[in-house]
Amino acid sequence: MSQKDLRTVHFADLGRRAYQDAWDFQEALFADTLERKTSNRKAAREAGVPTKDYLLFVEHNHVYTLGKSGDYANLLANESQLKELGIEFYKINRGGDITYHGPGQLVGYPILDLDEHFTDIHRYLRTLEDVIIDTIAEYGLKGDRSPGETGVWLDVGTPFARKICAMGVRASRWVTMHGWAFNVNTDLKYFQYIVPCGITDKAVTSLHLEVGRAIDEDEVKEKVKRHFEARFNVVLEEGCWERLKP
């Protein structure tokens, strides 16, 4: 299959964004995609309004997010401590428990119409994990899955198991949103105020910590984009904030 035959995913790196700002933008793209699916798919294609796929990269300000089935007890800081630390908190509509987003972390939000790929959420999550596993392999790290737990881990099955990338998604009518949080140059001290993903017996790590040096984040982004294209069999088309508005 030639590149011109591949499905296009519209890509934008939103840079440093407040969590609410990026969430609202995701929701707008997500809602637009769902609206496009309300019409007969064949008629929509003939009218030139098929669904679109998106991939957003963003780096958030300090924030904790709790998934819809998460436990508030896994937030260990009270309101005054959060204010002192300069950390926001949001209860959101993805799966999974609590996690941290902040500077030095590569957050990826795919808004995909899985009807155009494969209608299997389990496979979707495993494919996202493969993207990160492929990426860290280029830095000499062997990423793996931990049975019953999403995300990408190192040294699974040992007392040293640790998570380098958390994942949590939402899907409706096979349209996805939310995604992954990949610790690149992340300051890991912010994880001490939560029970990350509700998991008490495993640590959190970063690419920086594992390779022992600061990481070129632009380099990491290019690697993730390349592996995303390969794993999802798509081509990314560069865009910008204004252009991608539905």
Return the minimum-mean-pLDDT range out of 36-40, 57-61, 91-95: 36-40
**Average pLDDT of span 166-176:** 94
Residue 246 in this model has a pLDDT that exceeds 50: no
Q: pLDDT grade, residue 157 (50/70/90)?
A: very high
Residue 46 in this model has a pLDDT that exceeds 90: no
Q: What is the CATH number of domain 3-244?
A: 3.30.930.10
Q: pLDDT grade, residue 126 (50/70/90)?
A: very high
Of 8, 20, 53, the residue nearest 234 (C-alpha): 8
Give percent above pLDDT 70 in the chain.
91
How does 20-40 read in b/e, with b if 16+ C-beta sit within 10 Å? eebbebbeebbebbeebbeee
Residues designated as active site: 197
pLDDT in tens, 77-89: 999 999 999 999 9
Residue 120 in this model has a pLDDT that exceeds 50: yes
Is the entire prediction scored with pTM above 0.85? yes
Q: What is the pLDDT of residue 240?
A: 53
Q: What is the pLDDT of residue 68?
A: 86
More confident residue, 186 or 2: 186
Q: What is the pLDDT of residue 196?
A: 78
Q: Which two tokens stand for residue 52?
A: 């679109």
pLDDT in tens, 135-144: 999 999 999 9
More confident residue, 224 or 32: 224
Top mean pLDDT of 5-14, 205-214, 232-241 is at 205-214
Exposed / middle / buried, residue 6 (Cβ in 10 Å: 0-12, 13-18, 19+): middle
- Sheet harboring 63-66: ordered strands across? 88-91, 63-66, 98-101
Residue 2 in this model has a pLDDT that exceeds 90: no
Residue 245 in this model has a pLDDT that exceeds 70: no
Torsion of CA 82, 25, 107, 87, to 10 degrees: -10
Return the minimum-mean-pLDDT range out of 43-47, 90-94, 114-118, 196-200: 43-47
Distances, alpha carbon 29 to alpha carbons 16, 88, 120, in Å: 19, 24, 21
Residue 47 in this model has a pLDDT that exceeds 90: no
